[in-house]
Amino acid sequence: KQDKAGIFSFSKKVENRVVAERRTSQMNLILEALYNVNTNFFESDFGRLYADIKRNITHRSLILLYTNFETLDGLHRQLPYLKGIAKSHLLVVIFFKNTELNSLIHNKAETVQQAYDKVIAEKFAFEKRLIVNELKKYGIYSILTTPENLTIDTINKYLEIKARGLL
Protein backbone atom coordinates (compact mmCIF):
# COMPACT_ATOMS: atom_id res chain seq x y z
CA LYS A 1 0.00 0.00 0.00
CA GLN A 2 3.02 2.28 -0.50
CA ASP A 3 3.53 2.69 3.26
CA LYS A 4 6.96 3.38 4.63
CA ALA A 5 8.25 0.52 6.76
CA GLY A 6 11.14 0.31 9.17
CA ILE A 7 12.27 -1.67 12.19
CA PHE A 8 14.42 -1.53 15.24
CA SER A 9 14.97 -3.79 18.18
CA PHE A 10 15.70 -2.70 21.71
CA SER A 11 16.72 -3.96 25.11
CA LYS A 12 18.99 -1.68 27.11
CA LYS A 13 19.38 0.43 23.96
CA VAL A 14 17.86 0.68 20.48
CA GLU A 15 19.68 -1.53 17.98
CA ASN A 16 19.37 -3.00 14.47
CA ARG A 17 17.69 0.10 13.08
CA VAL A 18 16.29 0.28 9.55
CA VAL A 19 14.86 3.75 8.97
CA ALA A 20 11.33 3.70 7.53
CA GLU A 21 11.42 4.08 3.75
CA ARG A 22 9.27 3.21 0.76
CA ARG A 23 11.92 1.57 -1.48
CA THR A 24 11.87 -1.84 -3.14
CA SER A 25 14.84 -3.16 -1.15
CA GLN A 26 13.26 -2.26 2.19
CA MET A 27 11.91 -5.74 2.95
CA ASN A 28 15.36 -7.28 2.46
CA LEU A 29 16.90 -4.71 4.81
CA ILE A 30 14.23 -5.45 7.43
CA LEU A 31 14.74 -9.21 7.12
CA GLU A 32 18.49 -8.79 7.50
CA ALA A 33 18.00 -6.64 10.60
CA LEU A 34 15.68 -9.28 12.08
CA TYR A 35 18.23 -11.98 11.34
CA ASN A 36 20.86 -9.99 13.25
CA VAL A 37 18.78 -9.59 16.42
CA ASN A 38 20.49 -11.19 19.41
CA THR A 39 18.73 -11.77 22.69
CA ASN A 40 20.64 -10.59 25.73
CA PHE A 41 17.95 -11.44 28.32
CA PHE A 42 18.10 -8.00 29.98
CA GLU A 43 14.91 -6.25 30.96
CA SER A 44 13.95 -3.92 28.13
CA ASP A 45 14.34 -0.19 28.74
CA PHE A 46 10.98 1.21 27.67
CA GLY A 47 12.06 4.69 28.81
CA ARG A 48 14.84 4.65 26.26
CA LEU A 49 12.42 3.32 23.64
CA TYR A 50 10.03 6.19 24.35
CA ALA A 51 12.83 8.77 24.11
CA ASP A 52 14.16 7.28 20.89
CA ILE A 53 10.73 7.23 19.25
CA LYS A 54 10.06 10.81 20.34
CA ARG A 55 13.40 11.96 18.92
CA ASN A 56 13.44 9.98 15.67
CA ILE A 57 9.85 9.40 14.52
CA THR A 58 8.42 12.85 13.91
CA HIS A 59 5.29 11.93 11.90
CA ARG A 60 2.31 10.09 13.34
CA SER A 61 3.08 6.45 12.66
CA LEU A 62 1.78 2.97 13.25
CA ILE A 63 4.11 1.35 15.76
CA LEU A 64 3.90 -2.41 16.18
CA LEU A 65 5.60 -3.25 19.47
CA TYR A 66 6.41 -6.93 19.84
CA THR A 67 6.97 -7.68 23.50
CA ASN A 68 5.69 -9.97 26.21
CA PHE A 69 4.06 -9.00 29.47
CA GLU A 70 3.43 -11.93 31.79
CA THR A 71 1.81 -9.96 34.60
CA LEU A 72 -0.28 -6.84 35.11
CA ASP A 73 2.49 -5.51 37.36
CA GLY A 74 4.98 -5.89 34.51
CA LEU A 75 2.67 -3.87 32.28
CA HIS A 76 2.11 -1.17 34.91
CA ARG A 77 5.88 -0.58 35.20
CA GLN A 78 6.00 0.24 31.47
CA LEU A 79 2.56 1.81 31.03
CA PRO A 80 3.68 5.47 31.38
CA TYR A 81 6.04 4.98 28.42
CA LEU A 82 3.43 3.17 26.34
CA LYS A 83 0.90 5.92 27.02
CA GLY A 84 3.52 8.51 26.00
CA ILE A 85 4.13 6.73 22.71
CA ALA A 86 0.37 6.38 22.11
CA LYS A 87 -0.12 10.16 22.46
CA SER A 88 1.77 10.78 19.23
CA HIS A 89 1.44 7.48 17.38
CA LEU A 90 -0.94 4.62 16.82
CA LEU A 91 0.52 1.94 19.08
CA VAL A 92 -0.27 -1.77 18.79
CA VAL A 93 1.29 -3.98 21.46
CA ILE A 94 1.69 -7.55 20.27
CA PHE A 95 2.32 -10.27 22.81
CA PHE A 96 1.84 -13.99 23.17
CA LYS A 97 -0.56 -16.39 24.78
CA ASN A 98 1.32 -19.09 26.62
CA THR A 99 0.44 -22.19 24.60
CA GLU A 100 1.94 -24.49 27.24
CA LEU A 101 -0.56 -23.15 29.74
CA ASN A 102 -3.42 -23.80 27.33
CA SER A 103 -2.72 -27.52 27.43
CA LEU A 104 -2.84 -27.44 31.24
CA ILE A 105 -6.10 -25.49 31.18
CA HIS A 106 -7.85 -27.80 28.72
CA ASN A 107 -6.71 -31.13 30.18
CA LYS A 108 -8.77 -32.75 32.90
CA ALA A 109 -7.10 -32.62 36.31
CA GLU A 110 -6.85 -36.08 37.82
CA THR A 111 -4.68 -35.36 40.84
CA VAL A 112 -4.56 -32.57 43.40
CA GLN A 113 -1.28 -31.32 41.91
CA GLN A 114 -2.83 -31.20 38.43
CA ALA A 115 -5.79 -29.25 39.85
CA TYR A 116 -3.39 -26.72 41.41
CA ASP A 117 -1.46 -26.47 38.15
CA LYS A 118 -4.69 -25.95 36.21
CA VAL A 119 -5.88 -23.14 38.53
CA ILE A 120 -2.51 -21.37 38.31
CA ALA A 121 -2.51 -21.72 34.51
CA GLU A 122 -6.02 -20.25 34.36
CA LYS A 123 -4.86 -17.33 36.53
CA PHE A 124 -1.99 -16.55 34.14
CA ALA A 125 -4.28 -16.77 31.09
CA PHE A 126 -6.79 -14.48 32.80
CA GLU A 127 -4.02 -12.00 33.59
CA LYS A 128 -3.10 -11.81 29.89
CA ARG A 129 -6.72 -10.86 29.11
CA LEU A 130 -6.58 -8.24 31.86
CA ILE A 131 -3.48 -6.77 30.19
CA VAL A 132 -5.43 -6.43 26.91
CA ASN A 133 -8.23 -4.61 28.75
CA GLU A 134 -5.79 -2.34 30.57
CA LEU A 135 -4.13 -1.30 27.30
CA LYS A 136 -7.55 -0.68 25.74
CA LYS A 137 -8.42 1.75 28.57
CA TYR A 138 -5.62 4.03 27.36
CA GLY A 139 -6.39 3.79 23.65
CA ILE A 140 -3.58 1.33 23.01
CA TYR A 141 -4.43 -1.46 20.62
CA SER A 142 -3.19 -4.96 21.31
CA ILE A 143 -2.90 -8.38 19.76
CA LEU A 144 -2.80 -11.38 22.08
CA THR A 145 -1.87 -14.28 19.87
CA THR A 146 -0.19 -17.64 19.65
CA PRO A 147 3.19 -17.85 17.90
CA GLU A 148 1.70 -19.79 14.99
CA ASN A 149 -0.95 -17.09 14.40
CA LEU A 150 1.39 -14.12 14.82
CA THR A 151 1.70 -13.22 11.14
CA ILE A 152 -1.97 -13.52 10.21
CA ASP A 153 -3.21 -11.73 13.34
CA THR A 154 -0.76 -8.87 12.80
CA ILE A 155 -1.67 -8.48 9.13
CA ASN A 156 -5.38 -8.55 10.00
CA LYS A 157 -4.91 -5.80 12.61
CA TYR A 158 -2.95 -3.71 10.08
CA LEU A 159 -5.71 -4.14 7.48
CA GLU A 160 -8.35 -3.24 10.09
CA ILE A 161 -6.47 -0.06 11.02
CA LYS A 162 -6.09 0.93 7.36
CA ALA A 163 -9.75 0.17 6.59
CA ARG A 164 -10.94 2.26 9.54
CA GLY A 165 -8.73 5.18 8.43
CA LEU A 166 -7.01 5.44 11.80
CA LEU A 167 -3.75 6.54 10.19
What are the sequence ranges of the domains in the chain?
1-42, 60-164
Residue 1, pLDDT score: 64
Paired strand residues for 91: 63
CA 57, CA 7: separation in Å to the nearest integer? 12
Sheet holding 90-96, edge to edge: 62-66, 90-96, 141-145
The pLDDT of 114-142, averaged and rounded, is: 91
Question: What are the tens digits of pLDDT across the range 9-68?
Answer: 888 777 788 888 888 888 899 899 888 888 777 778 899 999 999 998 989 999 999 988
